[in-house]
C-alpha cells in the first residue's frame, strides 16, 4: 500500500507513548504501553530510552517503576517528539532530487512543499496537552 506521508514506527511509538503517559495520573511501565499500543516491547523500550535520555520522560525502575513526563504537557509539541526520533523535517521541493531539472515548472506544482509545510505546522502547533 502506498502512502503520501510515511511516519516511522519509532515516531509513532514516541508520539503515542508520550500522549498515553501525559493522560495518565500514575506511572506507566513499558509492558503496559506495549500491550496497550500493540507495539513490540523491544522497539518501544528503545524509543522510551531515547525519550528519557532527552529529558522528555523520567523513568523509575523496579516493580513500582514506570514513566512520567519530564516536562509539562503544555510545553511539549509533537514536532519536538517527531524530530527527536526522525531528525529535522526538511522541505524538499523536488521529489526527483535532480541537479538539473528538464522541466520549466514543477510537475507536482509545489505540492510536496505545501504538504511538508502543513505537516510541520500541525506538529509544531499541537502540544501534548491538546491531546489529553
- The ranges assigned to domains in the chain are 9-131
The answer to whether residue 7 scores a pLDDT higher than 80 is: yes
The mean pLDDT value for 50-72 works out to 94
- For the entire predicted model, the pTM comes to 0.87
Q: Rounded distance, CA 77 to CA 84, Å?
A: 11
CATH fold of the domain at 9-131: Arc Repressor Mutant, subunit A (1.10.10)
Per-residue buried b or exposed e for 34-53, using 16+ beta carbons within 10 Å of the residue's own CB: beeeebeeeebbebbebbee
Confidence at 72, pLDDT banded by 50, 70, 90: very high
Q: What letter would DSSP give residue 129?
A: G
Q: What letter would DSSP give residue 89?
A: P
Where is pLDDT greater, at 58 or 99?
A: 58
The mean pLDDT value for 59-72 works out to 92
SS3 84: helix
The mean pLDDT value for 26-46 works out to 94
The mean pLDDT value for 11-23 works out to 97
Amino acid at each position: 500500500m502506498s502512502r503520501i506521508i510515511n511516519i516511522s514506527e519509532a515516531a509513532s511509538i514516541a508520539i503515542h507513548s508520550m500522549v498515553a503517559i501525559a493522560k495518565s495520573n500514575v506511572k506507566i511501565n513499558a509492558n503496559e504501553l506495549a500491550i496497550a499500543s500493540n507495539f513490540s516491547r523491544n522497539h518501544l523500550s528503545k524509543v522510551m530510552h531515547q525519550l528519557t535520555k532527552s529529558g522528555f520522560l523520567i523513568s523509575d525502575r523496579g516493580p513500582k517503576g514506570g514513566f512520567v513526563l519530564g516536562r509539562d504537557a503544555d510545553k511539549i509539541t509533537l514536532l519536538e517528539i517527531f524530530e527527536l526520533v526522525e531528525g529535522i523535517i526538511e522541505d524538499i521541493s523536488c521529489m526527483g532530487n535532480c541537479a538539473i531539472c528538464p522541466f520549466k515548472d514543477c510537475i507536482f506544482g509545489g505540492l510536496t512543499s505545501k504538504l511538508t509545510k502543513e505537516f510541520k505546522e500541525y506538529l509544531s502547533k499541537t502540544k501534548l496537552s491538546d491531546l489529553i
